[in-house]
């Protein structure tokens, strides 16, 4: 991320991380995939919520407004999965100040989408926080927070519609917002597989009835491979070697993610000197 007086330039790299560790090999086209998915959804929702994006001068680059970020992330959940399920399974029926009914199973659809905000940590992990605590600490004003909630739910509704058109279920996602000249803007990425969880619609009901795991669209397959090879980011563990064949498989899966989420055929940019291309396109964007 590069900050200029009134703009931000964000370069999506091909690096990949899991368990808070950057893996030793880059994944071809991963950055392009994530940048273009985010741009696709930012453009599709610009009429609903103002967002930071001004231009996509390169497949790996987005240029936009430099906003002052709010120190919270708005996590919207339509289904009981991931962190919320782990809390629920542990017996907690209130998550981030939101009460959940008894009798839910993993991956069940919630009665209505809920917002479970987290703090946006500069270092370490983000942490759960309630609406009430955000207001009590003065992290966000009551007026702004009410608008953040409205924007988050509107975006989730649109994301749910767009996912359904592709045979997918938007399970949960997170949004980040910032402020510029008194206006609230959606910032960062939106509805990418790195910031969101998707299920396939096909067989969702059957899997729930039978207590079977849901087929997900995310980078979970990378985590599963690491676990199978003895790595979960714990002390004393070492990242397993990544063969050319495995790196190629991950790349292929990211391309598949792009095409499934957007419904658009992915076009690979395969210039040899990618860094030179990126630098040239950024210079042209900023100074032409």
Lowest average pLDDT, out of 122-126, 185-189, 255-259, goes to: 122-126
Q: How far apart are CA 107 and CA 85, in angstroms?
A: 8
Rounded-to-integer distance, Cα 112 and Cα 267, Å: 37
- The CA distance from 88 to 108, in Å, is 12
Main-chain dihedrals φ then ψ at residue 101, nearest 5 degrees: -75, 160
pLDDT band at 274, cuts 50/70/90? confident
Q: In this predicted structure, what is the pLDDT of residue 122?
A: 58
pLDDT given at position 219: 81
Q: What is the percentage of the chain residues whose pLDDT exceeds 70?
A: 98
Mean pLDDT value across residues 1-17: 93
Lowest mean pLDDT among 35-44, 177-186, 194-203: 194-203
What 266-274 contacts at long range (C-beta under 8 Å, 24+ apart), as own/partner pairs, is: 266/29, 266/33, 268/29, 268/32, 269/29, 269/32, 269/59, 274/60
- Look up the CATH number of domain 68-193: 3.30.470.20
Average pLDDT over residues 253-273: 89
Residue 223's pLDDT is what? Answer: 86
Report the DSSP beta bridge partners of residue 175. 74
Domain ranges, ordered by start, for the chain: 68-193
User: What pLDDT is stored for residue 244 in this prediction?
Assistant: 96
DSSP character string of 218-243: STHHHHHHHHHTT-SS-TT--PPP--
pLDDT band at 63 (very low <50, low <70, confident <90, very high): very high
Q: How far apart are CA 126 and CA 116, in angstroms?
A: 12
pLDDT tens readout for residues 156-191:
999 999 999 999 999 999 999 999 999 999 999 999
Encode pLDDT of 71-104 as tens digits: 999 999 999 998 899 899 999 999 999 999 999 9
Instruction: Please tell me the predicted confidence (pLDDT) of residue 121.
Output: 64
State the chain's mean pLDDT as an integer.
93
């Amino acid at each position: 991320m590069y900050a200029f007086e009134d703009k931000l330039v964000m370069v999506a790299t091909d690096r990949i991380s899991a368990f808070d560790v950057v893996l030793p090999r880059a994944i071809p086209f991963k950055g392009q995939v994530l940048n273009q998915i985010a741009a696709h959804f930012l453009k599709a929702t610009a009429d609903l919520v103002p967002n930071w994006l001004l231009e996509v001068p390169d497949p790996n680059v987005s240029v936009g407004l430099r906003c002052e970020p709010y120190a919270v992330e708005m996590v919207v959940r339509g289904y009981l999965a991931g962190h919320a399920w782990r809390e629920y399974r542990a017996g907690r029926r209130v998550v981030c100040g939101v009460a959940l009914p008894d009798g839910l199973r993993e991956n069940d659809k919630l009665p209505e989408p809920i917002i479970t905000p987290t703090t946006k940590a500069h270092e370490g992990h983000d942490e759960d926080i309630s609406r009430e605590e955000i207001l009590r600490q003065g992290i966000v004003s009551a007026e702004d927070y009410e608008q953040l909630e409205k924007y988050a739910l509107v975006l989730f509704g649109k994301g749910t519609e767009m996912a359904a058109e592709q045979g997918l279920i938007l399970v949960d996602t997170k949004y980040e917002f910032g402020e510029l000249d008194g206006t609230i803007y959606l910032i960062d990425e939106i509805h990418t597989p790195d910031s969101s969880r998707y299920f396939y619609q096909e067989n969702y009901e059957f899997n729930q009835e039978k207590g079977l795991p849901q087929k997900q669209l995310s980078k979970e397959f990378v985590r599963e491979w690491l676990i199978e090879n003895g790595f979960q980011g714990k002390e004393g563990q070492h990242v397993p070697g990544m063969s050319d064949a495995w790196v190629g498989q991950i790349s292929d899966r990211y391309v598949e993610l792009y095409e499934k989420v957007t419904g658009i055929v992915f076009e690979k940019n395969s210039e040899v000197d990618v860094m030179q291309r990126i630098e040239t396109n950024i210079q042209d964007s900023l100074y032409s």
